[in-house]
Amino acid sequence: SQKIEQNSEALNIQEGKTATLTCNYTNYSPAYLQWYRQDPGRGPVFLLLIRENEKEKRKERLKVTFDTTLKQSLFHITASQPADSATYLCALGPGANNLFFGTGTRLTVIP
């Protein structure tokens, strides 16, 4: 069965630095990959979608890469701010609207 790993349960970085989160997957060939942000006690909020034929996507301070050979996606937040502190989830799509979620990385940006 498919397996999705976000290899850091928690990540602490200093304000202003770039945060890099990793999502690896196995036994799977997703048509697309999405990243979500989840704050405590709230539902996830969509951030970015990248398709299998795209290598990189940007949105403001966010950048996502997708390497289907390595079966890996990297999620970068540049010039990080304390307000970026949250749990970030990667999710893979099998070609329908259903998604399989990783366990998330809890990011803390230290002022």
Partner 1 sequence: GAVVSQHPSRVICKSGTSVKIECRSLDFQATTMFWYRQFPKQSLMLMATSNEGSKATYEQGVEKDKFLINHASLTLSTLTVTSAHPEDSSFYICSASPSGIYNSPLHFGNGTRLTVT
CA-CA distance, 29 to 94, in Å (whole number)? 8
CA-CA distance, 68 to 46, in Å (whole number)? 21
Q: Which of 74, 78, 99, 108 binds partner 1 (CB under 8 A)?
A: 99
51 part of the interface to partner 1, by CB under 8 A: yes
Is the CB of residue 49 less than 8 Å from the CB of residue 58?
no
- Mask: binding to partner 1, 17-36, rule CB under 8 A, as x and -? --------------xx-x-x
Residue 24: count other Cβ atoms within 10 Å of its Cβ: 17
> What is the distance of C-alpha 21 from the center of its chain?
6
Residue 74 or 99: which CB sits closer to partner 1? Answer: 99
- Mask: binding to partner 1, 52-91, rule CB under 8 A, as x and -? -------------------------------------x-x
Beta bridge partners of 32: 51, 93
**Would you tell me which residues interact with partner 1 (CB under 8 A)?**
9, 31-32, 34, 36, 41-46, 49, 51, 89, 91, 93, 97-104
